[in-house]
Amino acid sequence: MKNNRILSFLPLSVPALLLITLFPAAHDKPNTGLSEAETFFLQGDLSEAKRVLQDSLRKQPNFVAALDLLANLYLLEDNFEAATQEIRRAMKLAPNNPKGLATYGHCLFREGDFKLAEIQFRKCLQLDPKQAAAYLGLGRLHLTKLRPEEGLEALQQAIRLDPNQEDNYFLASEAYGTAKNLSMQIQSLEKYLAFKPKFHAERVQNAEALLTFFRSLEKGPVAKINHPARRYEIPVQPFYGLMLVEAHVNGDGPYRFLVDSGATSTVLSNALLEHLKIAPIARAVVKCVGGTGKTATQLCKAARFQMGALEIENLPVASFDNEIFAGLIDGVLSTADLGDFLVILDYPDRKILLTPRPSSEPPAPAQSGNTPSTRSEFRILGNLMLVPVSINHQAPKNFLFDTGAVTSTLSKRQAALLGVHENTPNSVVDLQFAGACGVTQSVLSVSTVDLGLHGLKRDYAQILAVELKEISKEIQTEVSGILGGDFFSKYKVTLDYHNTTVTIE
């Protein structure tokens, strides 16, 4: 079983701590500035560490170890553009420096260039098989393709080489969650927290909440599907390119749920949790679209979730403030919780088909007449599906594949790359953009954009741009836009979590 719904129930960012150059390589000259920067870092003072490094580099602009460490500090702050600039300077000076290659790989991962990132990690290990950060990078890449065995092998090697690197254990927890090994998932989180991480207090608080929550799940099977070998057909109600389904929770209902591939977990409204008297087990903060980009949530369990004939027991759920969507939905059903099946969202016939996964990947869709069809690989980060979408026929960028979004959008960063900013005349739209985190008042409009997902394309005379900075920071990969229902809701969409592919036909 490759569905990763257990750990990624709550997506916790994995900031690129990855300080693989805390100490200069043997061939580097000792440098008191570098040592001083390392001391400030160990004390948790990033500002002073950066200041010392920048002063040192003004005196020794070609000091590779200092450039590498500065790049890592920028990554820690999620300033990946500055990090990339510094590490590229280092790579020009020392193109075969193993530590530099590993750091560059992590910068590329944050940019969303997974293939080029993998090339750097593998080149690094060819030059020096003892570079723990490169194994950590490969482990992250395997997890984006839901390959927990390969991910764990790489991460365990990273731990053997660098047992004091806290992020190794954090990523190992995710890998064990993907493999549905709850006890090892808990153990890895405990080891991560034992380091008393100095940075990213919100991430640490969420990890503590997850640990409490996971411990409560040890008493029985998690998200147990009563009849996993059978096929299910579930009727849906269309709503402006979205799918709504009816479900019963703990025997009560029916309640209306939005079917959402852009949800990290199934969520119930606070009002429904209160009505059903479902007690919270832990509280955390999640990142999402709308408002400030983050919101508080309660972590709970639904003893029984029934949708048509499908029954799931002991389902992890989160809460959300339903004020914006009151009267429309009572919750959100994450398609990741259906990932043990082949999930077919049949928009034209208004139904969801869940079929046991085939032993091998289904054949590619055949073109028939004028009906377009396409298949694309996706990557999973924090239970979110990222697909490669071309913008104006350029190299693909990572878009969130979101069946819970009515319309496709660009990120504001991507809009800026197209020349549209907050101060661009006529770019600001008088429109409220609602998401799970609330309402966004600041929305931009970009003219004449075409989006393409392999063979499927759509032209937009105008497309909206919203802030996706918090989500990008959370999953440590740039999200350049959202591919919403206006792009695919006229078709049949098949989500294959086992093979990490989406088919539209």
Q: What is the mean pLDDT of the chain?
A: 88
- The residue type at 426: N
pLDDT at 2 over 60: no
pLDDT tens column, 346-396: 999 999 999 997 666 666 665 555 666 899 999 999 889 999 999 999 999
Res. 26 pLDDT band, cuts 50 70 90: very low
Q: Where are the domains of the chain?
A: 34-218, 224-356, 374-504
Q: Which residues are CB-contacts of 115 (< 8 A; sequence separation ≥ 6)?
A: none
Res. 42 pLDDT band, cuts 50 70 90: confident
Residues 316 and 217: beta-carbon distance below 8 Å = yes
Mean pLDDT check: name the lowest of 201-205, 224-228, 401-405. 201-205
Higher pLDDT, 301 or 199: 301
Q: Can you identify the CATH homologous superfamily of domain 34-218?
A: Tetratricopeptide repeat domain (1.25.40.10)
Percent of the chain with pLDDT over 90: 72
> Could you identify the residue written with the tokens 């966004």?
440
For residues 64-96, b (16+ Cβ closer than 10 Å) or e, as one string? bbbbbbbbbbbbbbbbbebbbebbebbbeebee
Res. 19 pLDDT band, cuts 50 70 90: very low
Distance of alpha carbon 467 from alpha carbon 292, whole angstroms: 9
Res. 328 pLDDT band, cuts 50 70 90: confident
Res. 7 pLDDT band, cuts 50 70 90: very low
CA-based nearest residue to 82, from 103, 60, 62, 98? 103
pLDDT at 4 over 90: no
294 — phi, psi (to 5°)? -150, 155
Nearest 5°: the CA angle 113, 119, 120 is 90
Q: Which residues are CB-contacts of 446 (< 8 A; sequence separation ≥ 6)?
A: 410, 415, 418, 420, 427, 462, 463, 464, 465
Distance of alpha carbon 102 from alpha carbon 109, whole angstroms: 11
Structure tokens that stand for 48 in this block: 């002073």
Structure tokens that stand for 382 in this block: 């924090």
SS3 for 24?
coil
Mean pLDDT check: name the lowest of 33-47, 190-204, 279-293, 302-316. 279-293
Q: Which residues are CB-contacts of 107 (< 8 A; sequence separation ≥ 6)?
A: 16, 71, 75, 80, 83, 84, 87
| 371: DSSP letter | B
Highest CATH level, class, for 374-504: mainly beta
C-beta neighbour count of 99 within 10 angstroms: 26
Residues 234 and 351: beta-carbon distance below 8 Å = yes
Question: What is the torsion angle, in degrees rounded to the nearest 10, for the CA atoms of residue 422, residue 424, residue 427 and residue 432?
Answer: 20
SS3 for 23?
coil
Q: Which residues are CB-contacts of 400 (< 8 A; sequence separation ≥ 6)?
A: 262, 384, 385, 386, 468, 471, 479, 481, 482, 483
The confidence score (pLDDT) of residue 304 equals 96
pTM: 0.89
pLDDT at 32 over 50: yes
pLDDT tens column, 436-484: 555 566 789 999 999 999 989 999 999 999 999 988 998 999 999 999 9
Residues 255 and 330: beta-carbon distance below 8 Å = yes
pLDDT at 431 over 80: no
Q: Do domains 34-218 and 224-356 have the same CATH topology?
A: no
| Bond before 254 cis per omega within 30 degrees | yes
pLDDT tens column, 48-87: 999 999 999 999 999 999 999 999 999 999 999 999 999 9
Architecture per CATH, domain 224-356, reads as Beta Barrel (2.40)
* Cα atoms found within 13 Å of the Cα of residue 408, Cβ hemisphere only: 27
Task: Taking the CA atoms of 375, 381, 384 and 389 in sequence, report the sign of the dihedral they define.
Answer: negative
Rounded mean pLDDT of 296-303? 91
Res. 104 pLDDT band, cuts 50 70 90: very high
Res. 433 pLDDT band, cuts 50 70 90: low
Higher pLDDT, 1 or 403: 403
pLDDT at 90 over 70: yes
pLDDT at 405 over 70: yes
- The residue type at 30: P
Distance of alpha carbon 469 from alpha carbon 151, whole angstroms: 27
pLDDT tens column, 235-287: 999 999 999 999 999 999 899 999 999 988 999 999 999 999 999 999 887 76
Let me know how long the chain is: 505
Distance of alpha carbon 99 from alpha carbon 134, whole angstroms: 8
SS3 for 349?
coil
Structure tokens that stand for 128 in this block: 């020096």
The confidence score (pLDDT) of residue 362 equals 62
Structure tokens that stand for 17 in this block: 């701590």
Residues 158 and 138: beta-carbon distance below 8 Å = no
Rounded mean pLDDT of 16-25? 40
pLDDT at 1 over 60: no
The confidence score (pLDDT) of residue 99 equals 96
The confidence score (pLDDT) of residue 359 equals 61
Residues 100 and 72: beta-carbon distance below 8 Å = no
